[in-house]
Amino acid sequence: MANDSKKFQDIISHCKEYGFIFPSSEIYDGLQAVYDYGQWGSELKKNIKDYWWKSMTQLQENIVGIDAAIFMHPTTWKASGHVDNFNDPMIDNKDSKKRYRVDHLIEAHAEQMVANNRQDEADGLIAEMEKLLAKDDFPGLKKLIETYNIKCGISGTSNWTDVRQFNLMFSTEFGSSSSSEEGDNIVYLRPETAQGIFVNFLNVQKTGRMKIPFGIAQIGKAFRNEIVARQFIFRMREFEQMEMQFFIRPGTQKEWYEHWKQERLKWHLSLGTDSKNYRFHDHIKLAHYADAACDIEFDFPIGFKELEGIHSRTDFDLKNHQEFSKKKMQYFDNDIDPATGKAYGNYIPFVIETSIGLDRMFLSVISNAYEEQDLSTPEKQDSRVVLKLPPRLAPIKMAVLPLVKKDGLPEIARQIIDDCKSHFHCFFEEKDTIGKRYRRMDAIGTPFCVTVDQQTKEDSTVTIRHRDSMQQERIAIADLKRIVLEAISGTTTNTSNFLITN
């Protein structure tokens, strides 16, 4: 998908119109880069979360999940390096007073160059920027901005300040400020969930009798004071992460890093998205904790961008927590090292991390699913917007629609729902024409619409309509639950095996 800003805007409008995502506190004109998930958005988000959680815990013998608090002891963030290093180079435009993240400013300029068929120049600019970022060469970055005559989108001028660092953590005060010395009651809203896992490493290892290699997974909110946050839910100030820290023997990090790169890509592909939408991007500038890192990038309507990070975090975090807390963070490995013939003994484990933004995953799913279709025939103009969501992620799995509001049809529809609702999310609707009701269900990605009509009363059959093909089939009510459950579990997406012939 090339940079398709119209499609991006259409998806944003669709999310609002159909109850997926609203700007936060919209009646007060919203809060920049903060969003609320509506009735269908929260269902879709929860289904993504459940799918990740199940594949990372239930389906893994050696990974368990936790749910740590958002507030953590402030020393956590000293030890993790976030107080000193969680910065982004920023530059301000003196005329508009607008602050930009330097890499975003340069990337936006490169994207314009690509749009103007200057791909080679754009590649050169990005390569140069990455070199300078890797060296923290701030004067060099400013010079690059000047050389390419990059202007502020608001003032239109290139009247820039020097490039400076800006910490991305939000802080607040804990407890009563009058009872504390100035500054000693500052706590941070966690900028990543990972540290909740590191500080609980020994608790989980000991109480769960976990043996290396093993993992700890977590889903939870994270907060970053992002400066440029204009890309809908791609870059938010409050967002959710799904992270897993995999604890391994030192020296095995390369093989486990490769393992998790492939495993995570497989997970994305398991949702049926075309593999051409994904690519790996190796980091040149490594985060302060990593000895290798890459992103799984997804082809969003705003171009290929980071969806998930795979990081080889060495023993950086556990070692630092040991140093700052003065508590041992070691693991005793009684397996025999073939090189020495003795037990591996005590060591601080190394860590491979997989870290995906839930909101970004949501955006990738909905961008991939969104389709505007022209269904016009010579006789009639027609179109629809359909979300081709994987059935397991769809907010509603089955809508049951009585053809008319009378003759006992609504009662039969409600009976079908009563039989199925404890297994999957159903929806009843009797208002408007059946065509309009189908369109509404298409727009929120409901894979199956079931219509109850007069024939239902005679032979206990209904029509089932498939969202993607719009084909309809007559099937027995008794087969419905099985058909939908098989589609949700991914066994099948069509009902041809269950066709009944009169």
- Of the two residues 109 and 264, which places its CB atom closer to ligand GAP in the complex? 264
Amino acid identity of 116?
N
Place of tokens 């013939």: 341
Q: What is d(CA 50, CA 68) in angstroms, rounded to the nearest whole number?
A: 18
Phi-psi category of residue 501: left, alpha or beta, with phi > 0 → left and psi -120 to 50 → alpha: beta
The reply to whether 113 sits near ligand GAP by the rule CB under 6 A is no
Q: Could you give the 3-state DSSP secondary structure of residue 249?
A: coil
**Residue 242 — φ and ψ, nearest 5°?**
-120, 105
- Number of H-type helices and E-type strands within the chain: 16, 23
The reply to whether 442 sits near ligand GAP by the rule CB under 6 A is no
Q: What is d(CA 181, CA 193) in angstroms, rounded to the nearest whole number?
A: 28
The distance of closest approach from Cβ of residue 63 to ligand GAP in the complex, given in angstroms and rounded to an integer, is 16
* DSSP, residue by residue, 191-213: S-SHHHHHTTHHHHHHHTT--SS
Q: What is d(CA 222, CA 227) in angstroms, rounded to the nearest whole number?
A: 16
Find the angle CA(207)-CA(210)-CA(214) to the nearest 5 degrees.
135
The DSSP letter of residue 260 is: H
The CB-nearest residue to ligand GAP is 357
Q: Residue 198 is encoded by which pair of tokens? A: 């590191």
Among the listed residues 241, 253, 364, 446, the single contact to ligand GAP using CB under 6 A: 241
Among the listed residues 236, 310, 413, 475, the single contact to ligand GAP using CB under 6 A: 236
- Of the two residues 241 and 277, which places its CB atom closer to ligand GAP in the complex? 241
- Of the two residues 194 and 444, which places its CB atom closer to ligand GAP in the complex? 194
What mask of x and - would describe binding to ligand GAP in positions 298 to 337, judged by CB under 6 A? --------xxxx----------------------------
The distance of closest approach from Cβ of residue 49 to ligand GAP in the complex, given in angstroms and rounded to an integer, is 14
The reply to whether 357 sits near ligand GAP by the rule CB under 6 A is yes
The distance of closest approach from Cβ of residue 364 to ligand GAP in the complex, given in angstroms and rounded to an integer, is 9
Total site size for ligand GAP, rule CB under 6 A: 19
Q: Which stretch binds ligand GAP (CB under 6 A): 6-14, 19-27, 237-245, 246-254?
A: 237-245
Among the listed residues 194, 318, 398, 400, the single contact to ligand GAP using CB under 6 A: 194
Three-state SS for 150-163 is CCCCCCCCCCECCC
Q: Which stretch binds ligand GAP (CB under 6 A): 120-128, 176-184, 238-246, 324-332?
A: 238-246
The reply to whether 359 sits near ligand GAP by the rule CB under 6 A is yes
The reply to whether 239 sits near ligand GAP by the rule CB under 6 A is yes
The reply to whether 43 sits near ligand GAP by the rule CB under 6 A is no
- Of the two residues 234 and 438, which places its CB atom closer to ligand GAP in the complex? 234
- Of the two residues 241 and 493, which places its CB atom closer to ligand GAP in the complex? 241
The distance of closest approach from Cβ of residue 222 to ligand GAP in the complex, given in angstroms and rounded to an integer, is 7
- Of the two residues 31 and 470, which places its CB atom closer to ligand GAP in the complex? 31
Largest CA distance in the chain: 82
Q: Could you give the 3-state DSSP secondary structure of residue 282?
A: strand
H or E element: which one contains 127? helix 119-134
Are residues 397 and 424 in contact, defined by beta-carbon separation less than 8 angstroms? yes
The distance of closest approach from Cβ of residue 316 to ligand GAP in the complex, given in angstroms and rounded to an integer, is 12
The reply to whether 226 sits near ligand GAP by the rule CB under 6 A is yes
Q: What is d(CA 356, CA 350) in angstroms, rounded to the nearest whole number?
A: 20
What value does the CA radius of gyration of the chain take, rounded to a whole number of Å? 26
Residues that bind ligand GAP in the complex, under the rule CB under 6 A: 192, 194, 224, 226, 235-236, 239, 241, 243, 306-309, 353, 355-357, 359-360
